Chains A and B, each alone.
Chain A
Amino acid sequence: MAANPTTAEAVTKTANRVQPLGRRTKLTTRLVGLGAISSLVATVWLGLWVTPPDLVMHNLVRLVYVHPPIAWISLYLAFGIAALSSALWLWPRTRSRFFDRLAVSSMEVGTVFTALTLVTGSIWGRPTWGVWWAWDARLTSTALLLVLQLGYLALRRVPGDPDSRARRCSVTALVAAVDVPIVHFSVQWWRTLHQNATVLNANLSPTIHGAMAWTLLLGFVAFTLLFAWMLLVRYRVQVLSESLEGDELEGALRERWGETGDVGNAAGLVGSAGAGEGALVGVSVTGESQ
């Protein structure tokens, strides 16, 4: 019986053995990553050097190439993909591991983008409004969205049987997805029933310079590519970590088996330890013994 491999070795082994995404997907990931990097560089160059400063906001206007694209991804794209794939997982006809993995990947990457939306908004708000935080309708609903997403991720981290975890998480994603429009409207009323238009509307200058419009568009493309690349990579990580979970259980069982050297005991162990994946592990362990 070989010595128990260290975790690092196990990870490498799993990464080498499991080919979660085919060669074509791998190539796509690289191309998307390349596209994201080059378009981001172009956005930075256009945003910082080529485009002119704004009449009212001066150089602060350059945040417009960063903040709205990030917000678009976090509020619509990432959350939409997560909610849609959760619903597809719950629907018995389209149930597959793919949608569960896609949901968690999109939610996790989306949470990063939501946090970035709040951070970049705060950085923008301090010089223009004079405060880091205002109880503006959009800020409040974005903050609540972040809490909902963190709740989903917390639930995701709770150990347990993969199938029931996927079930719980997809229900949470759906509950949150239904909540987001309600939160949006209630917060909007909460603010607008008291005061008139929000500050945000007044900021965008009435005429937008041609170069600025193109840079903004490029910013949207760049951050969407970045999101797609992160999603692909995160999906691969999800596949790897799932197969590592299974490998660890199998390794632990084999180790115990080596200690006792008794098939009867090992079978008993499989029955008691592998409650969730008992059937699967049981098959592979008995396969080794013959």
Chain B
Amino acid sequence: MWRDALAVAGKDLRIELRTRVLLNQVVPFALLVLVLFAFAVGPGRGPMFQAAAGVFWVALLFASVLGVQRSSAIEASDAGRDGLRMSGLDPAGIFLGKTAALCAQLVVLELLLGLGVVLFFGSRVHSAGPMVAACVAGTAGLAAVGTLYGMLSSGLRVRETLLPFLFLPVVAPVLLAGTRAWQSALGTGATGASPWIELLVVFAAVYLALGVVIYGPLLEAA
């Protein structure tokens, strides 16, 4: 399972390195969301400072919808799904590999997005540890749900419109918990970060486990 996962993750990351879709299109889109939010909230320093954590996570969620679409589009053409199905790879391995590749790409996105928040919204980082922990756990959860729904909606003609509608409500707790954890780390929140990080870890663990079990039957349907 783990070897298969590595192989699939390597394949997806190699394709990204050669096509640079995420870097050239999704990252600029995420930064654009930051700017649009600044127009909506700003230009006063106070409200922007308050909103920074939420803006980061909303931008991340929107960008991850695009990331998920890209991740499932890799297999959409040239009967790539049939290839995956008949390759003899463990479905759980395929799921973990695709999730890991999406995770790696989202982490790069988060680094740039975090930098953007600090630059544009004037946030000061009080404690970096909780922020990184929230990002890692939140990204794993996002990528797990995203990979599941990416495969689920692939092959449907209405996939572009259906995917955000299915994906975003499910990851709403990630937005909630991630924002609270970041607010506490940026010094704008009222509560501690640790319960929220625990929630993100539980979310990620639950959906990684569900994906490992359920991806096989899903792969047959697509």
A contacts with B: majority SS: helix
Mark interface residues in B156-180 (1 if CB within 8 Å of A CB, else 0).
1110001001100110110011001
Contact between chains at B145 and A164 (CB < 8 Å): no
**Contact A174-B214, Cβ < 8 Å, known A148-B170, A193-B190:** yes
CB distance from A193 to the nearest CB of B (A): 5
**Contact A167-B221, Cβ < 8 Å, known A154-B165, A186-B177:** yes
**Contact A151-B169, Cβ < 8 Å, known A90-B214, A158-B162, A186-B176:** yes
B191 at the interface (CB under 8 A from A): yes
A194 at the interface (CB under 8 A from B): yes
Contact between chains at A171 and B169 (CB < 8 Å): no
Contact between chains at A190 and B170 (CB < 8 Å): no
**Contact A178-B152, Cβ < 8 Å, known A167-B221, A186-B176:** no
CB distance from A185 to the nearest CB of B (A): 7
**Contact A155-B162, Cβ < 8 Å, known A147-B169, A168-B218:** yes
Residues of A within 8 A of B158 (CB): 158
A98 at the interface (CB under 8 A from B): no
- Across the interface, B170 reaches (CB within 8 A) one of A90, A176, A186, namely A176
Residues of A within 8 A of B166 (CB): 151, 154-155, 172
A179 at the interface (CB under 8 A from B): yes
- Across the interface, B169 reaches (CB within 8 A) one of A148, A186, A190, namely A148
B203 at the interface (CB under 8 A from A): yes
Interface size for B (C-beta < 8 A) is 33
**Contact A175-B199, Cβ < 8 Å, known A154-B162, A160-B156, A164-B221:** no
Contact between chains at A179 and B170 (CB < 8 Å): yes
CA distance A194 to B218 in the complex (A): 41
CB distance from B137 to the nearest CB of A (A): 13
CB distance from B58 to the nearest CB of A (A): 15
Please report which residues of chain A, range 144-170, place their CB below 8 angstroms from some CB of chain B when the two chains form the complex: 144, 147-148, 150-151, 154-155, 158, 160, 163-164, 167-168
Residues of B within 8 A of A168 (CB): 152, 218, 221
CB distance from A220 to the nearest CB of B (A): 29
**Contact A187-B210, Cβ < 8 Å, known A155-B162, A155-B166, A171-B148:** no
- Across the interface, B218 reaches (CB within 8 A) one of A160, A171, A183, A193, namely A171
CB distance from B72 to the nearest CB of A (A): 13
CB distance from B3 to the nearest CB of A (A): 26
Contact between chains at B152 and A171 (CB < 8 Å): yes
- Across the interface, B199 reaches (CB within 8 A) one of A90, A164, A182, namely A182
Residues of A within 8 A of B222 (CB): 164
CB distance from B129 to the nearest CB of A (A): 20
B46 at the interface (CB under 8 A from A): no
- Across the interface, A194 reaches (CB within 8 A) one of B148, B190, B195, B199, namely B190
A133 at the interface (CB under 8 A from B): no
**Contact A167-B218, Cβ < 8 Å, known A182-B203, A189-B195:** yes
CB distance from A163 to the nearest CB of B (A): 7
B1 at the interface (CB under 8 A from A): no
B206 at the interface (CB under 8 A from A): yes
Question: What are 16 A-B interface contacts by the 8 Å CB criterion?
Answer: A151-B166, A154-B165, A154-B166, A155-B162, A155-B166, A164-B220, A171-B214, A171-B217, A174-B210, A182-B199, A182-B206, A186-B173, A186-B177, A189-B196, A190-B176, A193-B191
Besides A148-B170, A160-B156, A172-B152, 15 other A-B contacts (C-beta < 8 A): A144-B172, A148-B169, A151-B162, A155-B162, A163-B221, A168-B218, A168-B221, A175-B148, A175-B149, A176-B170, A179-B173, A182-B202, A189-B196, A190-B180, A193-B190
